[in-house]
Structure 1
Amino acid sequence: MIEILSDMPEGVTGIRVTGTVTGDEMRAFEPKMREMLETDEIRFVEVIDPDYEGFGRGGLVEDLKMGFGMLIKHRAAFKRMAVVTDTDWIVRALHVLGWMVPGELEIFGLAELERAKEWAAGG
């Protein structure tokens, strides 16, 4: 599931992912992503809960379609992405694949959510 977080600093979009993320949920999130792309600077906080299991039916396909399409066209707009998680496999994956994320990427533990928000908003 994808939940849009409302308690973010000005100019920062936040989401929480839990359970499995389906293609329908990715399509439902697409308007928020397009709204973010209307700005010159994308600052993002993604909270990944411990119960996150990955993509469900159609989720990965929609994520790849939306992600690559938007990244190619708007790569320079991505400034800061804070990933907030205590899940080891996600942290390890981000250390290996983080170079693919445009802009700056930082990883925070769940107890550091407020610090992650401040970091995403800064600079």
Structure 2
Amino acid sequence: MLRVIQNLPDHVFGVRASGEVTADDLKNVLLPGLESLTDRYNEIYYLLLLETEVQNFTAGAWVQDLIAGLKHFTAWKKMAIVTDQTAVEKFTDAFSYISPGEAKGYEISELQEAIDWLSIKK
């Protein structure tokens, strides 16, 4: 399930992933949030708080995630993935080298640090 994270800076969109994440979650939560952000700011500052294993994302969810990423490819400015899954955190840090924006991985205990980093616009 994806839920919008409240009380973030206006230019930051964040979601909390828990349990199973489906294509419908991405269509109904993630995509509208990204659309709203790009409509208002023409750029994306994104926070994903990953409280579930990546294996809990269905195949349809991965397809929708790919569509969202490609649709807004040039709008990505900063992306913070907050998780206690070390492999995901390391992948996020490496992803920064191939994405148009910056990507950083954080541990769950560093959630506020991730929000602070996203708060500073490039």
Structure-1-length-normalised TM-score: 0.82
Q: Where does residue 32 of structure 1 map in the other structure?
A: 33
Give the SS at the match of 1:53. helix
Residue 104 of structure 1 and its aligned partner are, at CA, apart by 1.4
RMSD of aligned Cα (Å) = 1.9
Residue 46, structure 1, aligned to residue 48, structure 2: yes
| Percent sequence identity over aligned pairs | 27
Normalised by the length of structure 2, the TM-score is: 0.83
- Match of residue 101 from structure 1: 99
**Number of positions where the alignment pairs a residue of Structure 1 with one of Structure 2:** 119
CA deviation vs aligned residue, 1:48-91 (integer Å, no higher than 9, x gap): 115553421521222222321221xxx1x322111111112212
CA distance in 1, matches of 2:105, 2:59: 27
Structure 1 residue corresponding to 2:80, chosen from 79, 82, 86: 82
Q: Report which stretch shifted further, 20-29 or 89-98.
A: 89-98
Q: Which runs of no fewer than 5 residues in structure 2 stay unpaired?
A: none
Q: Which has the higher contact order (CA 8 A, sep 6+)?
A: 1
Look up the match of 1:14.
Answer: 14
Quote the Cα distance in structure 2 between the aligned partners of 1:40 and 1:67: 14
| Shift, 1:119, TM fit | 0.7
